[in-house]
Structure 1
Amino acid sequence: MLTLLEPAGGNPRTATLFEYDLDYAFEKKVEPVSLRFPVTADMQKLAQWPAFVFDLIPQGSGRAYLLGQLQLADGPAADFPLMCAGAFNPIGCVRVAEAVQYYEQHLARHETDTPMHGLSLEDIIGRGEAFHERMLVHSMLAAGSLGVQGAAPKYLLTTDHEGMWHADGALADERAAAHFIVKRARGKTPSDDKVLRNEAAYMRVASAMGLRTAGELRYQEDTLFIPRFDRIVRDGKVLRLHQESAASLAGIVGFEASPSQFELLQALRAVVSDKTTETVEFLKRDILNLAMRNTDNHARNTAVQKIGANVRLTPLFDFAPMYLDPAGIARAARWYHPVSKKELHAWPAILAAMDIADVERNHIQVELYRFGQRLVELERRMLQAGVDDDIVAFLRPHIAMQIEQLSALGEH
């Protein structure tokens, strides 16, 4: 239960009451709604909204649609009502009860006597009449695009055991075979298409370089199919995994913050099961972001998942040549020194500034040095994966800079 004490203004830096249901709190096996809020029987008075709610607030095209439905002007004051209407089926395993009720009322308004059959792959790719009609009936709600944050049009779709496609949430769990995010370009320019077309190749490169990835992305006729990793289908049941952004773990409220990578890493290390392994994975991802110019590294593009008792970084997602984006996306999360607040660029200096024991620092240093030696393969890996030739040519100096910096770790 979340109670805003000053709901009308929409200012997230106002007092809030947060508590778990008492019956739930005393059950034997319970999961928290956020790893920052372990399950307890106590009511907590918070100085600001809990950061996890910002993982649930619709963004992008889903936000625009819902603003129209609710007849709200955009802005911070819309955030809470948007969550209460849109967070019925977001990524992860948290649902907002009011949003589920809103969704059920929405479906009731669009009931038809015609049974909803699955869509073919051609319907999805071709945006045929059946697809548009289904999205109209479900008004993007059943497609779950409200649960996927970001500017690009995205749909959450599920395949059944016959290979037909359904809006996620419109298909019963026992009929679900696999879950996907279906993504289209952010805009209508050739650069937008180029970014989306290369995202699948970028993920193949990340996998080849040893980063944690999940499934094979598939690009087909200006549509990208991304297997979801917050769901596991097993024995006719769908297991929904806890997923939470680095922004939530770091207690960041709102969407405009530009946090330090040191802050995000510290927040991740506070909850993951294996601090050293996840720190190395986090750093390798940032090295590839810099080498391959994925500039869209905001704090919600990094997340953790919980599988059983194990908490770790999710597989990599939203990894693409975002330097090409016409909007000119700059890196949001940077290595600002914890004391001086000046941005650090060299990996030896970044490692030296980390608040960790020297034994762990030395281990991480060796791992990054070895990763730097593997970066000499990066251009070949990109060409093999199908990254566009002109992107590979543009990245050469950026790759060389990372190799040079990481080589210096072997001298310390």
Structure 2
Amino acid sequence: MECHIQIFLDNTWVDCAAITVQTLGKNPAIGSAVFEYDLDYAFDAKSQPVSLAYPVDAVRHVLDEWPAFLYDLIPQGNGRKYLLSQLKIADGPSADFPLICAGAFNPIGRIRVREATEYFFQHIDRHDPQGMDQGFTLEDILEKSETFIERMLVHGMLAAGTTGVQGAAPKYLLTKDIRGLWHADGAVPDESAAEHFIVKLPRGKAEADRKLLRNEAAYMRVAKALGIRTYGTVAHHDDMLFVPRFDRIVQFGKVSRLHQESAASIAGVVGFDARPTQFDLLSALRHVVANKTAETIEFLKRDVLNIAMRNTDNHARNTAVQIVEGAIQLTPLFDFAPMYMDPEGISRAARWYHPETGRELTQWADVIQCLNFESDESIAIVKALRDFGAALLELNAHMEAAGVDRDVIEYLQMPIAVQTRQLMELEV
């Protein structure tokens, strides 16, 4: 089985690489794969990598497993369910490659799969395209009007949840045009686009699902107030969360698509079941980011907040890097919410397991000691974390101002106190 990767460069999509996979049994991850850049692309001075793990070269990479970045492109959640029904195939690892070839037509970032784009246009051709460029209002979205649902189904295959972004919650990828009207992402040309959004819906129909989504908007305001890297303003309207996309930049009538890649891909994690440690992820990230110290501090602060505010959904694809003006850095924070209240019960996935003993470390002093950085860097990191501990003294006030629910604030008092104390007791 083969698929072809395209990348968005100089305002156009370009064929750049091919991947051939051979599956063994029911788990394709144990099958071999061949990854190679197109030769013309490899020798083009303007070429850019599809993954930071695979710099552009003319080498034929014969691999024992799939390239890890492929798993950033596989539809999950409602988008996966929708495509499985369209393809009439059973779920499981053996469905991953067909899902890539049908669903990776508009993923987050700047790469896509050519076969998925062809499948998408075949889907469009089966429907009447009349009125697809007219757009719809915010009221149409909030009311889930018949016009909105129909156009999302026809143009974006999004009525049951987008295929282009991962995660369990139903989502839409929407573009707001220069007239202020909304479209399924890809239904409006780049020169007419003004803003791009991920619109999240509650994961289920329970009150806890709606409460969780409402508080996610407040959590993002808290993170911004504490100096965590964020982007734009996350807005909550009628059980919908409007999240500005930071993988796209609109300037002068053009849309730039930024390289975005998960920490799981950077760390070479194949499949969805593996659980790398926080040490594994941080080590992999430090190998690619431009400013190791600054990004390490950002990574650690985010984990402090995850623990303090009980965002238990910290799997390796909820952390990512992007390339901004040639520099590699952590993306703005995303999927930051009080996931402890999720009805399905989500446990913390990535933990600080000691690299040698395998024992979980729960004290930041022990984590810092195991990181074993050079003295100057360790001092800078400890000072930054101590300052962050002092900032956490104002966390209750920030939560109040951001609109976090009162019962959530009360529930968080103990983990906040523990994290604050640990950070402020760190010794240089």
TM-score range, shorter chain: over 0.9
* Counterpart secondary structure, 2:28: coil
Give the Å deviation of 1:308: 2.6
CA pair 7-233 structure 1, distance change in 2 beyond 3 A:
farther
Q: What's the CA shift for 1:257?
A: 1.6
| Root mean square deviation of aligned Cα | 1.4
**TM-aligned CA deviation for residue 362 of structure 1:** 1.5
* 1:114-129 correspondence to structure 2 within 5 Å: 114-129=131-146
Helix, strand or coil for the counterpart of 2:322? strand
Q: Give the equivalent residue in structure 2 for 1:372.
A: 389
Residues 108-129 of structure 1, C-alpha deviations (whole Å, 9 max, x = no match) = 1113444531010000011011
Q: Distance in 2 between matches of 1:301 and 1:30?
A: 27
**Counterpart check, 1:197 vs 2:214:** yes
Alignment deviations for residues 66-104 of structure 1 (CA, whole Å, 9 cap, x no partner): 000001100000001100110000000011011111111
Q: Which residue of 1 aligns with 2:308?
A: 291
* C-alpha deviation, 1:25, in angstroms: 0.4
C-alpha offsets along residues 172-199 of structure 1, whole Å, 9 cap, x if unaligned?
A: 0001000000110001111111100011
Q: Distance in 2 between matches of 1:142 and 1:319?
A: 25
SS at match of 1:69: helix
- Are 1:21 and 2:38 matched, yes or no? yes
- CA 1:285/1:50 → structure 2, altered by over 3 Å: closer, same or farther? same
Which residue number corresponds to residue 43 of structure 1?
Answer: 60
Q: Pick closer, same or farther for the CA change 1:360–1:114 going to 2, 3 Å.
A: closer
SS in 1 for 2:141: helix
Superposition misfits of 4+ residues, deviation over 6 angstroms: none
CA distance in structure 2 between the aligned counterparts of 1:368 and 1:85, rounded to whole angstroms: 45
Letter in 2 for 1:178: E
When residues 115 and 284 of structure 1 are mapped into structure 2, their CA distance, relative to the original with a 3 A threshold, is: closer
State the Cα distance separating 1:356 from its structure 2 match: 2.1
Q: CA deviation at 1:384?
A: 0.6
Residue 235 (structure 1) aligns with:
252
Q: What runs of 5+ residues in structure 1 fail to find an aligned partner?
A: none
| Paired position in structure 2 for 1:323 | 340
- 1:341 shift after superposition: 0.9
1:68 matches 2:61: no
Report the Cα offset of residue 361 of structure 1: 1.2
CA contact (8 A) 2:132 2:155 kept: no
Distance 2:257 2:94 in 1: 30
Indicate which of 144, 167, 174 corresponds to 2:191: 174
Q: 1:89 to 1:139 in 2, by over 3 A?
A: closer
Amino acid of the residue matched to residue 249 of structure 2?
Answer: I
Cα distance in 2 for residues equivalent to 1:128 and 1:187 = 20
**SS of equivalent to 2:66:** coil
How has the CA–CA distance of structure 1 residues 107 and 193 changed in structure 2, closer, same or farther, with 3 Å as cutoff? same
SS in 2 for 1:409: coil
- Tell me the TM-score normalized by structure 1: 0.97
CA distance in 2, matches of 1:293, 1:142: 31
What's the CA shift string for 1:10-37, capped at 9, x where partnerless? 4212211110000000011211010000
Q: In the alignment, does 2:107 pair up with 1:90? A: yes
CA distance in 1, matches of 2:348, 2:129: 47
Matched, 1:273 2:290: yes
Q: Distance in 1 between matches of 2:174 and 2:156?
A: 14
| Residue 215 (1) aligns with residue 232 (2) | yes
Alignment of structure 1 residues 376-387 onto 2, 5 Å: 376-387=393-404
* Local SS of the residue matching 1:181: strand
- The code of the aligned residue for 2:32 comes to A
How many percent of aligned residue pairs carry the same amino acid? 59
> Match for residue 20 of structure 2?
3
Residue-by-residue CA offset, 1:271-301 (whole Å, 9 max, x unaligned): 1000000000000000000110011000000
Question: CA offsets per residue over residues 342-381 of structure 1, 9 Å max, x none?
Answer: 1100000000001422221121011101110111000011
Q: Distance in 2 between matches of 1:397 and 1:247?
A: 31
Residue 47 of structure 1 aligns with an amino acid whose one-letter code is D
Matched, 1:251 2:268: yes
Matches within 5 A, 1:323-402: 323-402=340-419
Which one of 111, 130, 134 corresponds to residue 151 of structure 2?
Answer: 134
Paired residues, number: 411
Change (3 A) 1:316 1:115: closer
User: Residues 84, 204 of structure 1: CA spacing in aligned structure 2 closer, same or farther, 3 A cutoff?
Assistant: same
Contact kept, 8 Å, 1:10 with 1:78, in 2: the verdict is no
Greater alpha carbon shift after TM alignment, 382-391 vs 349-358: 349-358
Partners of 1:163 and 1:286 lie apart in 2 by 37
Task: Indicate the SS of the match to 1:352.
Answer: helix
Partners of 2:90 and 2:249 in 1: CA distance = 38
TM normalised by structure 2 equals: 0.94
Distance 2:164 2:363 in 1: 37
Amino acid corresponding to residue 180 of structure 1 in structure 2: F
Q: What residue in structure 2 maps to residue 153 of structure 1? A: 170
Quick one: distance in 1 between partners of 2:19 and 2:286? 27
- Could you tell me which residue of structure 2 aligns to residue 407 of structure 1? 424
Are residue 311 (structure 1) and residue 328 (structure 2) matched? yes
